[in-house]
Each structure stands twice: as C-alpha cells, then as structure tokens.
Structure 1
Amino acid sequence: MKVMCKYLKLMLLAGFMLGSMVLNAQEAKLVRAQALYNEKKPDIARLCIDSVVTHPETAKRYEAWTIRGFVYYEIYKRNDKNVLESSLRDTIISSIKRSNQLKPDADYKSQNDKILSTISVHYRSIARSYLFEQSNYELSLKAYNKFRELFLLADSVANIKERDIEYNLAVGSHFSDKFNLDKSNVKAFEIAKVTLMKALEMNPTDTSANMNMGVMYLNQATSLIEKIDAGEASIKDVDIIQDDAAKLAKQAEQFFLKVYNQNNKNRKAVLALYYVYRVLLDEAKILAFEQKCKELKIQVMDESSNPKK
C-alpha cells in the first residue's frame, strides 16, 4: 500500500519551517518511524511508533496514529489477511479510529478511509471463505459484520443495503442447496430461511430469494407425498401427512406467485406452481399451469418433482 510517502515530505518540510528549532525526542521518533516505513522496515518502525503514541507529548498527534496503522498494516499483510482473529488487524483499526477521533486533516482522513476500506475487503473475503469453503455461518457472519462496520467507517454515506442483500442471498442460496440435498438438515433450513427472509425484507420482489424459499417448502411438501406414495405412512397418518404437505405447499405458493406476478413467463416459477397445485390437488390450477408449461415448452414429469433452481 503505497500511500504514505508524501507524509514524510510534509513532516520534513514542517521541520525546516521551524528554522533552528530542534525536534524533541518523540517528534524525532515520529519522523524516524515514517522514514522506516518508507524504507520498508516496518518491524523497526513499529518500535518507534509504539513509543510515540504512548508518550504524552505525541499521543494526541493524529499523524502518529495514522502512521502506526500503516506500519502495522505492512506487518499484518504478510500472514494475517485471511485470518478472522488478528491482533495486528485490531491494532490497525484501533489506531485509525484514534486518528479519526483527533480530527485529522483531509489528506490524512483520506488515507485513513483507504486503509479501512482495504481491510473491510479482507473481512468480506474471509466471510465468503467461511461460507463457501466451510459452510460455517456463524464465523462467516462475524466476518461480514466486521466488513460492514469498516465499510461504513470508511464511507458513512455509502449504500450498504445492496451488499447486505447480496450477502444474505449468498448465505440463503448456499444453505438452501444443502437442505434440498438433505432434508434432515434442519440447521441448514433455518439458516437459509432466516437469511433469505432478511433479503426479502430489504427487497420483497427479489426473484432468487423468493424462488429459494419456495423450493425449500415445496421440497418438504413433495417429500411427505412421496412418503405416502412409497407406503411408508400408516393409514391413520395419511390425512395428517397430506394436511402437512398442503400447508407447506401453500407456504411455497406465496413465494412462487411473487415471481410469477412479476413475470408470468418465468419458466421456473410456472413449473414450480404446477407442482404446488399438484400437491394441493387443485385440478383447475393444475390444468391451467400444465397448459402454461406447454406454451412455454416446459417439460412436465408425471411423478412429483421439484423445479431446479
């Protein structure tokens, strides 16, 4: 991150303006820390700058805290960029926050924002890694919330809504896929449901979220019907299972209809609704959506099935 070189020049110029005045020991360390940073010697610079920010004479210099953040960043980026818990990263963030509290000038504030933005991207990458590589929602969410905090610190007027929708859709889609493959995975269903509903709170007409929610409910409904068809249900339980399947199908219907009402030629929504009405034994709508499938050249299977996402 080559963003600090000009500060050394600014500080040296300030020194020249002092004429014959001599920098005190801590100010000299501040200049030294910045010089070492520019010379790509962050480990030595770290010793200088840590002394500077703890000394009463320089502890309230926003320049010192910004430089500390950048010095630590050079050390942090070696091994900690993809680590969720990093004391080096914590030091960078706390240093930049302290610099901002001390009301830096426009140049320093800009550099503070840049480093916060850069680190926020690292957190976002970590969130994706925990989600897609480990299916660990708890740690993924922790990393995402860190991203969110720094993203807004770097730009308080930024629109975070689109990123929130994107993240919740990614989580919801990932865990709905896992649930659809293994309907005993209740945890996957709950995570998918919570995150997809968050996405729908922010954008009620989102096609992906509505389809994912609908498919999960429809899959549960058809699984119950398949249980009856396979003779796995006792006669006394058939009516109860059919009622449960109908309730799940009605849950699915509301989500598919949101998509269908926006675009009545959406092939996935049309096919999904056809299967919903088969579960509900609604003959009129079965025929109507069977005809729509023919018009859109959608292949309909005789057996109960679910639309692929």
Structure 2
Amino acid sequence: MRILKYISFLLLFAWQINTSYAQFAPKDDVVKAMLFLQQNEFDSAKKYIDSAIENPELQNKQATWYYRGYIYKALFKQREKNNKFSPYREEAVRSYKKSLEFKQEEQFTKGALKSLEYLAATYYNDAAMAIKIDKDAETAMKMFEKYKQLIPLANPNEDIKKREVEFYLALATLYNSQDPQDSSFDQNVADRAINLYEHVLSLDTNNASAYYNLGILYYNKAASLINKMDYDEPLDVVNEKLDHCVSLFLKALPYMLKAYDLNFRRKDVLEGLVGIYYGLNDDEKYEKYKAELDALKNSEK
C-alpha cells in the first residue's frame, strides 16, 4: 500500500495541477512508465521502463528495477499467465532480483521479496499443472527447478523439502500407472518411477507412500515378466528369467513390509504382501497375510 501511495505521489507531482499530458509530459521515464501502467497501457509502460534502465541516472536505483519488475509482473498476469515459459515472468524475476543489489529502501525491498514469492509460487503451480493436466514430466521438472532456485531468496522460511516430497511423489505417478497384465508394460518407465520414489525416501525416510509404491513397482516388474514369458524357450533361458522374477519379488518385499509397519493403506499393503509371498512360493507367510487380509475384508462387510 505504501508503494502504491508513493507511485501516486510521483504521478501527482509529475502532473502537478495540469491534465494535459502532451503539454506537461514528465521527464522521468520511470514516472511515465507507471503512469501508463495505471492507465492499463502496458506496451507504453514497458517502453518507458525499458528506456529507464538504459539511463545512467536511473539504472543504478533500486526503484527503477523494482518498478520494472512491477510492470513485467503485470504484463505476465495480463498476457502470459497460462504460458509456462513466459518471457515477461522471467524479466519480472530478473528485475526484482536486480533491485535487491542496490541501496535498500524498505518499501521496495519488502515489495520485491513479496512479488518474488508470488512468482515462485506460480512456478510451483505450473509444475503441478504440467503433471496433472499436461502429463509433461520435462516441463514439470523445469518449472520446479525455477521454484527451487527462487524461493530461498523470496522466503527463506519455506519448507522446500516438504515441497520436494510432494512434487516428486506427484511426478512419479506419471510413470506408475502401467498395468503389468498389459503387453505394452515398459520396464524402463517403471524404473523412472522407482528412481523418483527412492529420491523421496532420501528426503523423507518414513514416507509410507514411497515404500508402498516401490513395493508395487518391483512386484509389477516381476508380474510383467511372468506374463510375457515364453515357456517354449530353452529351459535354461526360462529358469534365468524366473530367477530374475524372484529377485524382483525379493526387492519388493522390504518396501512392502515397511509400508505395513507404517500402517499405510492396510488392505492394499496386505494384498501386496500376499502377492509377493505367493510369487516367492513362501506358503507360510502367504497364509499368514492372506488370513489377515480376509479378516479385514470380513470386518468391512
């Protein structure tokens, strides 16, 4: 609010008591730019603020770069809010950051940091939309990296690790929707999801969702191999593939047991354990968790 009042004062001072812009045009390009912005004449505002940063008398002032950020942020919101690669947003960020390099005035510093936090949030939101709507992992990663680079400056108190966990869990869902019964099941796609869930565990060692999904992914990789197996192949080839499936079930097991210990989605986890122990031909453990699963299902009736 103080900044807006200051802008109004500048404009009032520039105009003094006259209303004829043609006769009494203010000399300061920053003032001109903000005047045009108030009139929603964005192209003219941009023209004059870009001229101001080339002026030796204005280019080394915090206010000049702050207002340039203000104008470019307005252009972004007006014209490119749905453009994840908006040049206006990039220039707004650059200008606000540049404004922090000069002698600090509280009103401009606070305004710049608040605006940078807003712009960082738009990057995070764009990353989320790239996953949810566009199914575009590459763009999601680029937007999230921009958020991670900007938010420590804008708000040092932001819990970045929490945001990272949320983001990588969401990103992993792009690679974790394959049906192992489908002949198109891609082991490499599953491996991408595995890498993302393992990264989540490096950030949050008790993330039950990551443990459960890792268990499911290794189980699905084994189930897909079994479904695609050609038993007419030479016996040694078949046995080699079966051994690989067993190794995948064994990889799935500790993740699923950890999810069980964390009491995560009990019914789903029990179904996972039943499937894994069945694949390992461990009848005792299979019967144990099958009985618990049946009891749970009966209690839900």
Asked if these proteins are the same fold (TM beyond 0.5), I'd say yes
* Matched residue, 2:74: 74
Q: Which amino acid aligns with 1:109?
A: T
Which deviates the most, 282-291 or 248-257?
282-291
8 Å Cα contact 1:63-1:104 kept in structure 2? no
In the alignment, the residues of structure 2 paired with residue 70 and residue 182 of structure 1 have an alpha-carbon distance, to the nearest angstrom, of 53
* Matched residue, 2:156: 156
SS of 2:271's equivalent?
helix
Identity of aligned residues (%): 25
In the alignment, the residues of structure 1 paired with residue 227 and residue 161 of structure 2 have an alpha-carbon distance, to the nearest angstrom, of 40
In the alignment, the residues of structure 1 paired with residue 104 and residue 9 of structure 2 have an alpha-carbon distance, to the nearest angstrom, of 14
8 Å Cα contact 2:187-2:221 kept in structure 1? no
In the alignment, the residues of structure 1 paired with residue 43 and residue 264 of structure 2 have an alpha-carbon distance, to the nearest angstrom, of 63
The TM-score with structure 1 as length reference comes to 0.83
The TM-score with structure 2 as length reference comes to 0.85
SS of 2:100's equivalent?
helix
In the alignment, the residues of structure 1 paired with residue 231 and residue 282 of structure 2 have an alpha-carbon distance, to the nearest angstrom, of 23
Query: C-alpha displacement at 1:150, in angstroms?
Result: 2.3
Distance 1:214 1:4, change over 3 A: same
Matched, 1:198 2:199: yes
8 Å Cα contact 1:210-1:255 kept in structure 2? yes
* Matched residue, 1:105: 105
Distance 1:212 1:232, change over 3 A: farther
SS of 1:123's equivalent?
helix
Which deviates the most, 170-179 or 238-247?
170-179
SS of 2:96's equivalent?
helix
CA RMSD across the alignment: 2.8
In the alignment, the residues of structure 2 paired with residue 41 and residue 254 of structure 1 have an alpha-carbon distance, to the nearest angstrom, of 62
SS of 1:37's equivalent?
helix
Q: Which amino acid aligns with 1:110?
A: K
8 Å Cα contact 1:63-1:108 kept in structure 2? yes
Query: C-alpha displacement at 1:188, in angstroms?
Result: 2.3
SS of 1:177's equivalent?
coil
Q: After superposition, where does 1:22-171 map in structure 2 within 5 Å?
A: 28-171=28-171
Query: C-alpha displacement at 1:201, in angstroms?
Result: 0.8
Distance 1:134 1:12, change over 3 A: closer
Structure 1 residues 258-285: Cα deviation after superposition (integer angstroms, max 9, x where no partner)? 1111228822112211111111111211
8 Å Cα contact 1:82-1:125 kept in structure 2? no
Structure 1 residues 196-247: Cα deviation after superposition (integer angstroms, max 9, x where no partner)? 111111112212111111111101212333445x746543333212211110
Structure 1: runs of 5 or more not aligned = 16-24, 300-309
Which deviates the most, 128-137 or 140-149?
128-137
Structure 2: runs of 5 or more not aligned = 15-24
Distance 1:182 1:56, change over 3 A: farther
Q: Which amino acid aligns with 2:4?
A: C
Structure 1 residues 13-45: Cα deviation after superposition (integer angstroms, max 9, x where no partner)? 999xxxxxxxxx997222222232233222212
In the alignment, the residues of structure 1 paired with residue 284 and residue 242 of structure 2 have an alpha-carbon distance, to the nearest angstrom, of 19
* Matched residue, 1:275: 275
